[in-house]
Chains A and B, each alone.
Chain A
């Protein structure tokens, strides 16, 4: 049913820390690895070893440069399904293949009902859905629904593959509907944000902005007398060194 639930029991989702992400692509690779054998399997590829490889991925890691008043900054930016509360990809689906789960808010595709009309991918502003040309159906992030409830896995592994593999600890998983959960606290502390909030899809996943940069020595507590230029030193030797090195 493509009507969205009024309210979901939990709001499971991810919190992605843009301050920490190093753009190593491990989350994207582990996502592909797990999911090509998981709930939405297979994640097909075309021409994977040829000149123009193409295939279904649920997670794409972009790298941006932000240039502002205080120089430029590199930000690595993983992009995947945000499991929106007002998920337009669900309501546009004509067949009922797309749905948002009432119990935990996860947005899924029932591949047996999908006719492959691609309309859901047009409705998604975040590019979360990728069409599987081989299978003829739409595919998307499942929030590793086959891991997070999987009692065959050790409890610490019951998190999405992207979270479990992140070597930098930039990805967090939890219930964003519970204000006391770790992820909700993290969002509150760090000013977690919605992507394209102005579009009103109310994404569940949040992004933590990069922390303000510490650019000057004084920002990290250096005493001002240690910051004086060399030529102000009284020592003739240091003046000579400065002169030589300045040539």
Chain B
């Protein structure tokens, strides 16, 4: 599938933003947010809502008619894309109330705690809907499987968690060893989910074949004799995007190194190193993960193969 930059930016930025919002909400509900540090409050809240909003805005850039984007929330009964839009809009309401209480009234109790909890829930629901858009497409084996959703949820939480650590460090807080250990846990989970996903798509393929696509199985092995058109059309440009295996392997290594291995070492370093080295390690880890998750998402699209390419002679999808 063609990797549209606006969608890659949207899913990674809003994923991390919702991950951060989820964490802030959970910490608020459990009374663990540092209420005495306005810089952290502003920094983390603005970063979270900023990433979410920039992502949502960017997702409209690839539309043929961005001015009609408001229509995209109407069909929530059947469409995961519409549900994502609805969830995203609804999440703003408790998120803004939560932010108001925390930033302007320095309170995260009572009604603000309820709002924080709802914002956290909204964040999970929205990322779930994003994952479902891809997961629900039976035409793409690399998306329609049990590993797509854990990847979206865990990568959002993981990148959001690193962002929170980075903001905390940059606003003069010390996340503490406990948080670093939590980071290690969520990093390893996300890595495991991605590794399983990559193994899954490397070892399985879609059940459809060129024979089932053409209904000619009884005649034997089917191959393309003549293409229906002499140059590329929309289908081939959008659905037939191909990435050479050797590049995919290289990009997977880059992604793994930047998204998991380097942050892993840096997070371990942050546990043992004294401040400010430990803090800088966490900031660096967030930066590496940000780069790594963009490469990961690019691959998520580039490695996805659509069944329609069978009609154009793909040997398997």
Contact = CB atoms under 8 A, between A and B. Distances in A.
B234 A54 contact: yes
Contacts of B89: none
Interface string A56-74: 1100111111111100111
Given A62-B227, A116-B64, A196 B74 contact: no
A207 B79 CA distance: 30
B315 interface: no
Interface residues of A, number: 72
A137 to B, nearest CB: 6
A186 interface: no
A97 B78 CA distance: 13
A116 B65 contact: yes
A85 to B, nearest CB: 15
B64 A68 contact: no
A62 B227 CA distance: 6
Contacts of A124: 139, 308
Given A54-B233, A94-B82, A193-B215, A136 B64 contact: yes
A126 B224 CA distance: 16
A218 interface: no
B218 interface: yes
Contacts of B77: 2-3
Nearest to A99: B75
B28 interface: no
Contact of A207 (B66, B72, B73, B215): B215
A193 B222 CA distance: 17
Contacts of B72: 94-95, 115, 117
B225 A209 contact: no
A209 B218 contact: yes
B1 interface: yes
Interface string B299-317: 0000000111001000000
Contacts of B221: 66-68
A166 interface: no
Given A60-B229, A123-B139, A135-B64, A195 B82 contact: no
A116 B238 CA distance: 13
Interface in B209-238: 210, 212-216, 218-235, 238
B222 A66 contact: yes
A90 B81 CA distance: 12
B65 A63 contact: no
Nearest to B226: A63
A122 B226 contact: no
Contact of A131 (B138, B214, B227, B234): B234
Nearest to A1: B75
A58 B63 CA distance: 21
B64 A130 contact: no
Interface of B: 1, 62-66, 68-69, 71-75, 77-82, 85, 133, 136-140, 207-208, 210, 212-216, 218-235, 238-239, 306-308, 311
Given A60-B233, A94-B71, A95-B68, 9 more contacts: A92-B78, A92-B79, A94-B73, A97-B71, A121-B238, A124-B139, A199-B139, A209-B218, A210-B216
19 contacts: A1-B75, A2-B78, A65-B225, A75-B216, A79-B228, A91-B78, A93-B78, A94-B73, A95-B71, A114-B65, A115-B64, A121-B238, A124-B308, A125-B308, A127-B311, A195-B215, A198-B208, A198-B212, A210-B219
